[in-house]
Structure 1
């Protein structure tokens, strides 16, 4: 990668005066930025963080307002804002963020990604594809056990989603948490989250994934930092699957102990994205698209990408997702990548699933992900039925959830009564299809020859 030196922001003063309704505010910010970068004695880390955050917000305001109609002048300003924010944070010199270019072009395709059209072709034998994917997975994810006296086994990491809030201001048309729906809404306080986490810990889960709706007044950076810190102190390996955050927010969560991020673009088709995300913070396609990059710059070392199968053309979406992964790997060579392909089975009554993805297609898509990224974690949730999860586990999956609840407060000790109306009375985000307990899933995996692990930290 070739790092670029940004033009001085003062260079933009005349253009901003002529074209920006907030010119006075922008010019004042530019002066502060230039002064901070020029005068080390007057510069504090806190001031630099504040200025970087303001430049980041300004950049996304432009992206959202222009919405696909950027000209070269706009792009140059966006690049300069990005690079100056990086300078203020003390980041290593780098090229500006351009993930949209990466996912829309084949110019930087790796050798495996260049083969995607062949692998996606229905004429390419599925059994040949799955055999190759299994071979690659067995080679990359087998471990010695029992002191090395036994043959190597494939390892499978089990995790549990820890839902903490179903409050959400977004109007995502396909989602069970979307704002207009009349469902039971629950927001857990820290002590309630820790109680849920300890139930999961007693079931074996050392790796837990915080999941929440997007309700900024409640699901704030401070809230997540407190949760992460508490779970981390309890010895939990903490991941997050929450709304896209700022660089500073991700950095605060890293300091609190977060180790991984799962953030799915849902669809990489920008027009379709706008159709499904009609209101709320998640309506910003670009803010979400660049979130994994912000997280990586903040220090999160394992990042999961994904698409929600059923929203758009699955081949186009998975191709874009893999290109996005390649883009991130090029920029962060030590980044651990994961990919997940959740599939819509049920949605709110007024949502018709536009693209039906068959079991056979799902197996093909996951196999292609493995061949494209031999060292990536491939993740499978309890959305899928037990038999299909077993089939995919044998082929290429390396991480799966088990005994999951998709409602805040949904986990119960055996001595506690279940919710009178069943799990749905808690307000699930989506129904669980594989209803086996964690013990049952672990027992099946062991019987099938897997080495079960309950966190990535487990030796």
Structure 2
């Protein structure tokens, strides 16, 4: 018997024959579609929790289909993936939007002429780098200057690492499962103790960071961290494993205000090579994470590439395309962009594409040309002189006084660098960073709403 609902265009087409031909576990899939039919046929009689649970099952089916086919779908598979996307968002109660289409955008030439002009102008070796920086500074000053003062504002924030346990085997990361290191995982009292130190240093914006370990870093665990921290007046961003739409909604309800999710590399083949095992190996699950976060109501989204993994110019094109796609799809989105570089990696890994300082500066200035109003973010991965120079050009958010290991702000006897994700190259204190910004004519701020 066919599973089809003529009144719902999202369901029109997935007949029993089609489902049996396309994928695995057809009986289970058909039962799921029958349940979707029932729920959408009488949505008012079904509790929101049941609808979201069902949406999560549909969402997982879609990503299993994408992952199993490595994103290379035939006509029928692509149609099914698109309809499952519509169904999941309808069950979630998300505002209707066209089907997700970033993969198509990335493969197209749309906006390429504009991107080429921006990049060619900034990367042209014949153009003095000082001229590139001045142009970026003018655009940044125009969009981030204070009304009450000519001083440009720069947000200072701190990462708070909750856990370095991780099930992934990312070749470049200090947290990778096979890397011998001391593992740690904060409970709520320790996390609150860390936040008290950051609060005394002036921070009001904290970025929660954790390795990908679904058993230890669950949605329940994260919500249990976010709510008490938000209750103490902190603005909470999250840089964690990609979540389902329902998962992001739960974290937003707990008090999270922003999501940072770096794709690392947009090249699917390279991505598979660098992420051989673990949940992070699911390319589509990660690349569409920002859309699920936006669907869940989070309006501050951070994107980035890890410079060193792929061809730098190619990756920068893809990052710009991703940012423009999200801004087109979600009007009012507040976008942040970052370009972390690999300086040190676990033994046995050497980045194939080294990006020098001048190119690094030009890349950030190219992002400013492409996104005049986006926040550009720079961490303590980079040394102080380079961070100061980029702040003068285009950076609007800086971490300061950072630790990249769980419990790193309180410290413990015998602590060294054995638990950190990456080394810190700007060792200045928060006060030293803030004072330097003020001496350079900027206004350090501590609340993201001002940025």
Correspondence 1:423 to 2:387 = no
**Structure 1 alignment gaps of length 5 or more:** 413-417
What residue number does 1:387 align with? 385
**Structure 2 alignment gaps of length 5 or more:** 1-7
The CA deviation at 1:178 is 0.3
Contact 2:152 / 2:442 at 8 angstroms: preserved in 1? yes
Q: How many residues align?
A: 444
The CA deviation at 1:99 is 1.2
Specify whether residues 359 and 197 from structure 1 end up closer, same or farther in structure 2 by C-alpha distance, changes over 3 A only: same
Contact 2:258 / 2:298 at 8 angstroms: preserved in 1? yes
The CA deviation at 1:108 is 4.5
CA distance in 1, matches of 2:82, 2:14: 13
What residue number does 2:60 align with? 57
What residue number does 2:14 align with? 11
1:141 to 137, 141, 144: 144
Normalised to the residue count of structure 2, the TM-score between the two structures is 0.95
Correspondence 1:21 to 2:24 = yes
Correspondence 1:295 to 2:282 = no
CA distance in 1, matches of 2:450, 2:119: 34
Give CA-to-partner distance per residue, 1:374-424, whole Å, 9 cap, x none. 000000000000000010000000000000000000003xxxxx5454531
Specify whether residues 41 and 452 from structure 1 end up closer, same or farther in structure 2 by C-alpha distance, changes over 3 A only: closer
1:396 to 372, 394, 398: 394
What residue number does 1:72 align with? 75
Give CA-to-partner distance per residue, 1:304-327, whole Å, 9 cap, x none. 100000011111111101110000
Specify whether residues 123 and 104 from structure 1 end up closer, same or farther in structure 2 by C-alpha distance, changes over 3 A only: farther
Contact 2:22 / 2:77 at 8 angstroms: preserved in 1? no
The CA deviation at 1:360 is 0.2
What residue number does 2:351 align with? 353
CA distance in 1, matches of 2:222, 2:417: 25
What residue number does 1:456 align with? 448
Indicate the RMSD between aligned Cα atoms, in angstroms.
Answer: 1.6
The CA deviation at 1:127 is 2.7
Give CA-to-partner distance per residue, 1:40-59, whole Å, 9 cap, x none. 35422122111111110000
Contact 2:160 / 2:194 at 8 angstroms: preserved in 1? yes
Specify whether residues 9 and 51 from structure 1 end up closer, same or farther in structure 2 by C-alpha distance, changes over 3 A only: farther
Give CA-to-partner distance per residue, 1:111-136, whole Å, 9 cap, x none. 45653344334344433322211110
The CA deviation at 1:110 is 8.3
Contact 2:118 / 2:369 at 8 angstroms: preserved in 1? no
CA distance in 2, matches of 1:6, 1:137: 45
Give CA-to-partner distance per residue, 1:257-316, whole Å, 9 cap, x none. 101111100011111111000100000011000000000010111001000000111111
Moved over 6 A (4+): none
CA distance in 1, matches of 2:338, 2:43: 45
2:202 to 204, 210, 213: 204
1:77-226 matches, cutoff 5 A: 77-108=80-111, 111=114, 115-144=118-147, 148=148, 151-226=149-224
Normalised to the residue count of structure 1, the TM-score between the two structures is 0.93
1:309-458 matches, cutoff 5 A: 309-412=307-410, 419-425=412-418, 427-457=419-449
Contact 1:188 / 1:408 at 8 angstroms: preserved in 2? yes
The SS at the match of 1:424 is coil
Contact 1:9 / 1:34 at 8 angstroms: preserved in 2? no
Contact 2:155 / 2:444 at 8 angstroms: preserved in 1? yes
Contact 1:104 / 1:320 at 8 angstroms: preserved in 2? no
Give CA-to-partner distance per residue, 1:192-225, whole Å, 9 cap, x none. 1011011000000000000000111110000000
